[in-house]
């Protein structure tokens, strides 16, 4: 009996360790890829629309004559998106209301991140590659957390007014 229980435990452990972890890792890799491309493409097309000779790879955007901007895993804003989604889901409201605010908030965060990438590349064009000593990661995070708070406050106020309607 103990041997069967240990065998079952070992099977479950191997199943979780290899199959489910691999599946979870693949799901996050897919989410990362989608968000990364949603950040890179608008910045690329905005620069192209301004008439610049712009190029992109999987995670780099650059204009001819500049170093370009490499978007690392921690720079795409998944932590900011997760924080926003958790705030929205934690507050009691109707599912439709939560879905609308969640979608709009995620689009806003990704749009701001794309604007940040555009601004960093455009800064390289204007300054001939000179980068300011301001850290764009922390500056962006502070700005987006402030915006997340403001959107969440709007969400709470709109939800409260909707709850008061008969």
- What pLDDT digit, counting tens, does each position of 37-81 carry? 999 999 999 999 999 999 999 888 989 888 888 888 888 888 888
Higher-pLDDT residue of 149 and 27 is 149
Q: How much is the pLDDT for 134?
A: 66
Q: Where are the alpha helices (DSSP H) in the chain?
A: 2-14, 21-49, 78-90, 95-126, 136-164
pLDDT interval class at 151 (50, 70, 90): confident
Q: For 76-97, what is each residue's pLDDT tens digit?
A: 888 888 888 888 888 888 888 8
Decide: helix, strand or coil at residue 108: helix
Distance of alpha carbon 41 from alpha carbon 54, whole angstroms: 11
Query: Judging by DSSP bridges, how do beta strands 54-56 and 69-70 pair with one another?
Result: unpaired
Distance of alpha carbon 68 from alpha carbon 40, whole angstroms: 12
Computed over every residue of the chain, the mean pLDDT equals 81
Rounded to an integer, the average pLDDT of 6-32 is 62
Higher-pLDDT residue of 151 and 130 is 151
Of 108, 109, 133, nearest in space to 123 by CA: 133
Distance of alpha carbon 64 from alpha carbon 52, whole angstroms: 8
């Amino acid at each position: 009996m103990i041997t069967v229980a240990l065998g079952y435990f070992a099977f479950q452990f191997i199943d979780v360790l290899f199959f489910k972890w691999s599946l979870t890792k693949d799901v996050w890799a897919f989410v990362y890829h989608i968000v990364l491309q949603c950040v890179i493409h608008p910045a690329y097309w905005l620069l192209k629309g301004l008439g610049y000779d712009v190029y992109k790879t999987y995670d780099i955007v650059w204009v001819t004559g500049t170093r370009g901007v490499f978007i690392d895993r921690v720079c795409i804003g998944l932590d900011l998106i997760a924080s926003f989604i958790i705030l929205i889901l934690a507050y009691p409201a109707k599912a439709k209301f939560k879905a609308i605010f969640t979608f709009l908030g995620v689009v806003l965060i990704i749009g701001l991140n794309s604007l940040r990438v555009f601004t960093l590349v455009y800064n390289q064009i204007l300054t001939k590659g000179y980068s300011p000593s301001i850290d764009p990661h922390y500056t962006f995070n502070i700005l987006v957390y402030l915006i997340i708070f403001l959107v969440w406050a709007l969400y709470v106020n709109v939800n409260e007014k909707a709850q008061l309607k008969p």
